[in-house]
Amino acid sequence: MLVVILMGSKGDLEHAKKIAQTLEKFEVPYVMRIASAHKVPLKVLEIIKEYENKDVVFITIAGRSNALSGFTDANTTKPVIACPPYSDKFAGADIFSTLRMPSGVAPLTILEPEEAALAAVKMLAIKYENLIDKIKKYQEEKRREIEKADEEVKNNG
């Protein structure tokens, strides 16, 4: 079981660290790698092939012109989650390069790092049932956060 966080550049590292923090909560192993589908496509292929025979979910991080997510998905049978960093440049329109994929290419798009990690954990839980209790605990913690916030607002608002 492994999540491969594949970044298009080192500039994506802070976004990747947010994903990693959530994976650590679930005690899911991960590895971070950097390879650009535009600049070093053969390296991306090498990375994909390195993990192809493992129980793996890829989370790709690339902004601007996101070829990485589609390229990764087109070259693996494993799940790919695109988690592009938001950019104020071009009024956030960079996201369209992640949302519009060619036919036969289907990376899931999840914008928030925490949610991308959670989706990967849920995918892995199909085979690794020990993750199910961790997911339920996480969900219960989120419910408690809402209940606590409700009480605070109700009593002080």
In a domain, 41, yes or no: yes
**157 pLDDT tier (thresholds 50, 70, 90):** low
In a domain, 136, yes or no: no
CATH of the domain at 12: 3.40.50.1970
Q: Is residue 87 a known part of a binding site? A: no
In a domain, 24, yes or no: yes
Question: Can you give the residue range of the structural domain that contains 46?
Answer: 2-129
Q: Is residue 39 a known part of a binding site? A: yes
Q: Is residue 9 a known part of a binding site? A: yes
Average pLDDT over residues 5-12: 96
- Which residues partner with 3 through β-bridges? 30, 57
Tokens of 17: 């660290």
Higher local confidence (pLDDT), 87 or 37: 37
Number of domains in the chain: 1
pLDDT at 42 > cutoff 90: yes
Q: Is residue 63 a known part of a binding site? A: yes
Asked if residues 53 and 27 have their Cβ atoms less than 8 Å apart, the reply is no
- Nearest one of 96, 111, 5 to 56, comparing CA atoms: 5
In a domain, 142, yes or no: no
**156 pLDDT tier (thresholds 50, 70, 90):** confident
What does the alpha-carbon distance between residue 83 and residue 99 come to, in Å, rounded to a whole number? Answer: 11
What is the per-residue pLDDT across 45-98, written as a single tens digit (0 to 9) for each?
A: 999 999 999 999 999 999 788 999 999 999 999 999 999 998 777 767 778 888
What is the per-residue pLDDT across 95-128, written as a single tens digit (0 to 9) for each?
A: 888 888 999 999 999 999 999 999 999 999 999 9
Q: Is residue 97 a known part of a binding site? A: no
Q: Is residue 12 a known part of a binding site? A: yes
In a domain, 148, yes or no: no
In a domain, 91, yes or no: yes
DSSP 53: T
Asked if residues 110 and 81 have their Cβ atoms less than 8 Å apart, the reply is yes
pLDDT at 17 > cutoff 70: yes
